[in-house]
Structure 1
Amino acid sequence: MSPAAPVSLPSIEFINTEATVQDFATAVTLLFEPAPPIVQHLYSKRPYPTYSALIDETAVLLANPDKYLTLEEQLDVINAHPRIGAAKANLSALSLIEQGYTPEDAAKKVDATATPSQDDEVTQATLKRLNQEYEDKYGFKFVVFVNGRPRNVIIPVMEERIKNSTKEAEMKVAMSDMVAIARDRLKKLNVA
């Protein structure tokens, strides 16, 4: 991420002592996207010595979702993430970078004058189709720790998971990858 990152987290001290539920949700959303079930769980478990400890608590929650969340809440958490290849205007600054856009794209969000290449158009159309196939098969959005890989590299990953996985396995992968995404975001935000 560029030094002029468009987002930042408040101090952990603020989160632990002064933050309203809304303040807390805003901070947690930077790490996990807008997922109220995660916010509610984490808010009730305060204080945290570090943001890393907050993510560790989320890892426990998402590794044992049936213990803490209803099925509907689990789906809400997974569906909080944007679709792979979603329109740039609909992605958070961190999601833009994670999905392979440059920091400059993230700062601009949308360049109305930019014309996508034919390869980009094919990739976008393929991702749109695969997102629909995945959601039709499993009933929730595809989540993967993209980690800056180009969108076209995700296509075979999606195809493999559509072809050879189960709903239960995909929910576990989604929850696990959400934690990996949050850890990566925290590192990029230079916060412990």
Structure 2
Amino acid sequence: MTADAGLTRFNELNKPALLRILMDVCQSPKWRNDITDHRPYADLGALLASSDYFLKDVSEIELDESVINHPRIGAKNAGPRSAREQSRFADTIDDSTFAEFAELNQQYEDQFGYLFLVAAEGRSAAELLDVLKGRLTHTPEAERAIMVDELAKINRLRLTRLVDEEILTLSKAPASV
């Protein structure tokens, strides 16, 4: 499938179907509604720019709820979507590395009040451990801004994949009429 065909389908899906599909991208109801209500998108770049823009308008509570449903980086059995996003390292790390991720993830959650979020696709376990350790040194304000930036990156990756690869097979829902 081409990105053009995927974007056409994205633009044509009825609102309830697209809202359900977008749950796999971001949990924020406001973000999903904004993305859905501002169709059609001329191209993937316009969709991704809109995603970034709409994420900036999401409440702190919705941001927290969006992060809750992300699996922990380095966790075993993270689920199929996250396994794909973390595939560079998920199948190759040993038990001691899983334990280190678990310990550092817990330290991060205790310190900041939400789970460590990072765009992991294409990154190694060592790189992600270094990122996690580095982010533990941030102030809560600085870390919150980084978390939002990482959520935006994840949303962009997932939207791109959705339009490029998945949208036509994810829903047999009729297009808008």
Say whether the fold is shared (TM-score over 0.5): yes
Partner of 2:73: 84
- Show structure 1 runs of 4+ deviating over 6 A: none
One of 127, 146, 168 as aligned partner of 2:141: 168
1:59-70 alignment to 2 at 5 Å?
A: 59-62=52-55, 64=56, 68-70=57-59
1:97-176 alignment to 2 at 5 Å?
A: 97-101=84-88, 120-162=94-136, 164-176=137-149
User: Closer, same or farther in 2 for the Cα pair 1:187/1:131, shift >3 Å?
Assistant: same
Unaligned runs of 5+ in 2: 166-177
User: Closer, same or farther in 2 for the Cα pair 1:188/1:18, shift >3 Å?
Assistant: closer
1:40 equivalent in alignment to 2:33 = yes
1:43 Cα offset (Å): 1.7
Q: TM-score, normalised by structure 2?
A: 0.74
Percent identity (aligned): 27
Matched residue of 2:94: which SS?
helix
For 2:64 and 2:33, the matched residues in 1 are separated by: 15
For 2:72 and 2:11, the matched residues in 1 are separated by: 32
Per-residue CA distance 1:64-98 (angstroms, 9 max, x = gap): 3xxx222211212233322101222x3233x2132
Number of equivalences: 163
One of 29, 49, 56 as aligned partner of 2:49: 56
Per-residue CA distance 1:110-142 (angstroms, 9 max, x = gap): xxxxxxx8x610111111111111111111111
Partner of 2:14: 19
Pairwise CA RMSD of aligned residues? 3.1
1:174 Cα offset (Å): 1.8
One of 24, 28, 33 as aligned partner of 2:22: 28
Q: Is the 8 A contact 1:145 1:177 kept in 2?
A: yes
Q: Is the 8 A contact 2:6 2:163 kept in 1?
A: no
Larger RCO (alpha carbons 8 Å, 6+ apart):
2
Q: Is the 8 A contact 2:72 2:105 kept in 1?
A: yes
Q: Is the 8 A contact 1:75 1:140 kept in 2?
A: yes
